[in-house]
Structure 1
Amino acid sequence: MVKEQFRERNTACKISHVTFCVDSPTEIQTQSHLQIVSKNLYCQDPQRNPVPHGLLDRRMGTNQKDANCTTCGQNLSDCVGHFGYIDLPLPVFHIGYFRCVINILQSICKNPTCVRILLSDEKAATFRAKLRNPGLSYLVRKAMKKKILEMTKKVGVCPHCGDINGTVKKCGLLKISHEKYRNRTKKKEAIIEDILTEYNEAVKFNPEIESHKKFGLIQVMNPLEVLQLFDAIPLEDIPLLLMNADLSKPSDLILTRLLVPPNCIRPSVISDLKSGTNEDDLTMKLSENL
């Protein structure tokens, strides 16, 4: 992908507004200059040149006084640095968006063939009409988001596909559980008995797992499953999640691609004996994803 050169305008411009959003994988790639694919940092040569497409590739800038950036040709004091990106083998939860992910999962149907918001068509149309008002303040939108979440929490059966939906909550470090049958265990419905049949057979051979049988009704959702659900959310339901589909989508809250900061942010320190270098902690952490 060829990056466009920034050119100053001849006419004066006025900033109309500032928008904050979540970068999508496509936007991360657009902001970057190269993809990082090599785990090694240096070539096996006496000069210890950085490996091409590695974390110290000089196309992301330079952190040495005697070397120039190969992207802009500037030295250490003039080069502002350039970003790279890493494609993750599997999607992961972002700790900063974790609560938002749980709230969205609570608001939508977890059936992969439906994934509609848990509101009737009449209620959804009412909220859509209110959200079309461009003059809504932040506090009004926040209150409306809270109201939608409270309403969807009380819905046990999807009004669109009829599938059962339960409580979504955090269960451990960056883990999400869906207690689908939480409100139906006391009724002893046939569907619950069918699910627990296999567990009842296991209890006969190992009575010690009797106390853990209840966990058979709990689904632990991994990031890949959540990403597939978020990708399937209809565009007309995204505004009901108080998100702007033109700027960010729910699937952008799941990390599939990482930005790699410029080399000047992650300087390599040459040891006193000049037998090697001490690498920045961020560089070493990023290398673990390759």
Structure 2
Amino acid sequence: MEENSPSTVLEGKITGVSFSLATTQEICLSSISDCPISHASQLSNPFLGLPLEVGKCEACGAAEPGKCEGHFGYIELPVPIYHPSHITELKRILSLICLKCLKFKNKRPQAKNVGVLERAFTSCCEDAAQVTVNEAKTADGACYLELKVPSRSRRDGCWDFLDRYGYHYGDGIARPLLPSEVLIILKKIPDATKKKLAGRGCFFQEGYVMQHLPVPPNCLSTPDVSDGISVMSSDISMTMLKKVLRQVEIIKSSRSGKPNFESLEVEVHDLQAAVAQYLQSRGAKVLYFLHIFLYIIKLIIYL
């Protein structure tokens, strides 16, 4: 009879832990449903887990809250937007590269006695080198990125090199940079440039430009409070999430074809403001519950 061979035990050690923003694929894969949430009534659906007013979780079949870990959904955004918390980092990354050739910018100053023709040969991106990336904000508080050239360097067609990233637009000294254009830029950055950016501590992520918004499970939402006559919502983040859904519906219903640059800019700003308000309220809610939790801990220790 053959002896059983001893089981092989694989040994290893953890050498590091890294954290990153969820990608579009990860958000969709972590969702319990293949279909995005498109209406406010779906924000408390049974497939998002317990607790529920009646019934069991339609995702895992659990009937007791302790048996269901909760399940995520997602909202598919009709237009990419900047992640409100990472616009500054995105600005830093784009400021370090030439937006025309996507190579790392050469900061070495050119000699004053170099002629115009020689200067043109030393840099194929002389116009793009004058472009600066700035953070800007709309009247309703939506943050976005804006490109600008010095007034003395402004000439006709100075923004033509951006055509391959999206839209042929802009004839002034400043021009908005749409998230959809940034998404293409990030995908086209060559590996050599990525290595140099890493040397500066810049590691761009797909999540810097949002195309999907995760919807938390029911267990992370505060239930509505009723006095027997009226129902009062105590979860401001859920109200803000409904506002995001309304804005998504407004954008979809207002389109009659492919939007031009101006209409797309308005859509981005309106949706950007709604998502930023939601994420801010969600963060405030987490801090609130953390404060209550710490208060309870202190009370227990005191007693």
Considering the TM-score relative to the shorter chain, is it more than 0.5?
yes
Identity of paired residues, percent?
26
**TM-score, normalised by the number of residues in structure 2:** 0.57
Q: Which residue does 1:39 correspond to in 2?
A: 39
Aligned position for 1:80: 69
Contact 1:270 1:278 in 2 (8 A): yes
Contact 2:223 2:234 in 1 (8 A): yes
1:191-243, Cα deviation, whole Å (9 max, x unpaired): x35479xxxxxxxxxxxxxxxxxx92112222222222222212332222229
Q: Find the aligned partners of 2:215 and 2:229 in 1 and give their Cα distance.
A: 27
Provide the rounded CA distance (Å) in 1 between the counterparts of 2:155 and 2:10. 72
CA RMSD, Structure 1 to Structure 2 (Å): 3.4
Instruction: State the SS of the aligned residue for 2:128.
Output: coil
Q: Which residue in 1 is equivalent to 2:208?
A: 253
**How far is 1:270 from its partner?**
5.1
Q: 3-state DSSP class of the match of 2:65?
A: coil
Q: How many Å apart are 1:259 and its aligned residue? A: 1.1
* In 2, Cα distance between equivalents of 1:268 and 1:254: 31
User: Hey, which of these two has a bigger chunk of helix by percent?
Assistant: 2
User: Relative CO higher for 1 or 2, CA cutoff 8 Å, sep ≥ 6?
Assistant: 1
Q: Which residue of 1 aligns with 2:183?
A: 227
Distance 1:68 1:260 in 2: 19
SS of residue matched to 1:103: helix
Q: Can you list the C-alpha shifts for 1:94-152, whole angstroms capped at 9, x where unaligned? A: 222111111111012223xx333324xxxxxxxxxxxxxxxxxxxxxxxxxxxxxxx49
Deviations 1:240-281 (A, max 9, x none): 2229xxxx7544311111111111111332523276573732
Gaps of 5+ in 2: 1-8, 111-118, 159-170, 246-303
Q: Distance in 1 between matches of 2:95 and 2:236?
A: 37
The answer for the alignment partner of 2:128 in structure 1 is 164
Matched, 1:115 2:115: no
Structure 1, unpaired ranges of 5+: 1-9, 42-53, 120-150, 197-214
CA distance in 2: counterparts of 1:159 and 1:252, whole angstroms: 32
Q: Structure 1 residues 193 and 171, CA, compared in 2 at 3 Å: closer, same or farther?
A: same
| 2:88 partner amino acid | R
Residue type at the aligned position of 1:39: H
- Displacement after TM superposition at 1:11 (Å): 7.9
Q: Is the 8 A contact 1:117 1:237 kept in 2?
A: yes
Counterpart in 1 of 2:47?
A: 59
Give the aligned length.
206
Would the alpha carbon gap of residues 68 and 37 (structure 1) be closer, same or farther in structure 2, given more than 3 Å must change? same
